């Protein structure tokens, strides 16, 4: 018998000067980076929130609070690895990740495959189980005006329960 759960994640950060742009653990060449306590990786943060939500384990802010010196400038992939380990300890297996990066600039299409590989490596799942898509805001709102980047993710996790079947004695 198995149990399937679904979680949804979202994150958004403003672009600022003086920081590297990191998405899905990949450094993207760009003049600005994302503000944040960790590395500001909105894509990985959205994936983390989707996984935590699916397992009913809260959210990234409660797990890795901003202001805690242990997480200052930390790679979000390290945080994703901690979440992966916690889910595994509770019997969960990551089944599928589907995510959107929403950014007017820079163009993400050249980086999507590398990002998928980095996320699948960190989660220890096949690359085919991780989908990352790049979208724009078509010039609308703060993202459309190049002020920030957002990401959405949905995750499915599976837990196989060991059940004992009673064998009828004849």
pLDDT in tens, 10-20: 999 999 999 99
**What phi and psi values does residue 76 have, to the nearest 5 degrees?**
-65, -20
Check residue 148 and give its pLDDT: 97
Mean pLDDT of 1-13: 95
Check residue 79 and give its pLDDT: 98
CATH superfamily of 2-160: 2-C-methyl-D-erythritol 2,4-cyclodiphosphate synthase (3.30.1330.50)
Res. 169: pLDDT tops 70: no
Check residue 161 and give its pLDDT: 75
For residues 96 and 81, give the distance between their C-alpha atoms in angstroms, rounded to a whole number.
16
Distances, alpha carbon 131 to alpha carbons 59, 61, 138, 164, in Å:
21, 24, 22, 36
- The SS3 assignment for 125 reads coil
In the chain, domain spans = 2-160
**Count of Cβ atoms closer than 10 Å to residue 104 Cβ:** 21
Joined together, the tokens standing for residue 157 give: 């996790």
- The crossing angle, in degrees rounded to 10, of helices 112-123 and 76-89 is 40
- Quick: pLDDT tens for 96-128: 999 999 999 999 999 999 999 999 999 999 999
**Count of Cβ atoms closer than 10 Å to residue 125 Cβ:** 17
User: Which pLDDT band, with edges at 50, 70 and 90, does 147 fall under?
Assistant: very high
Q: For residues 1 and 86, which has the higher predicted lDDT (pLDDT)?
A: 86
pTM, rounded to two decimals: 0.92
Mean pLDDT of 41-60: 97
Check residue 164 and give its pLDDT: 37
């Amino acid at each position: 018998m198995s149990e399937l759960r679904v979680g949804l994640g979202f994150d958004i950060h403003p672009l600022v000067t003086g920081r590297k742009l990191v998405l899905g653990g990949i450094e993207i060449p760009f003049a600005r980076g994302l503000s944040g306590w960790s590395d500001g990786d909105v894509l990985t943060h959205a994936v983390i929130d989707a996984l935590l939500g699916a397992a009913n384990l809260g959210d990234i802010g409660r797990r890795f609070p901003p202001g805690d010196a242990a997480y200052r400038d930390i790679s979000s992939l390290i945080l994703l690895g901690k979440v992966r380990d916690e889910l595994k300890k509770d019997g969960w297996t990551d089944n599928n990740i589907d995510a959107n990066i929403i950014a007017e600039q820079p163009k993400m299409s050249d980086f999507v495959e590398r990002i998928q590989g980095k996320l699948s490596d960190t989660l220890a799942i096949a690359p085919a189980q991780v989908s990352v898509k790049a979208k724009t805001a078509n010039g609308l709102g703060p993202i459309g005006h190049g002020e920030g980047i957002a990401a959405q993710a949905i995750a499915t996790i599976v837990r196989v329960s060991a059940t004992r079947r009673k064998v009828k004695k004849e």
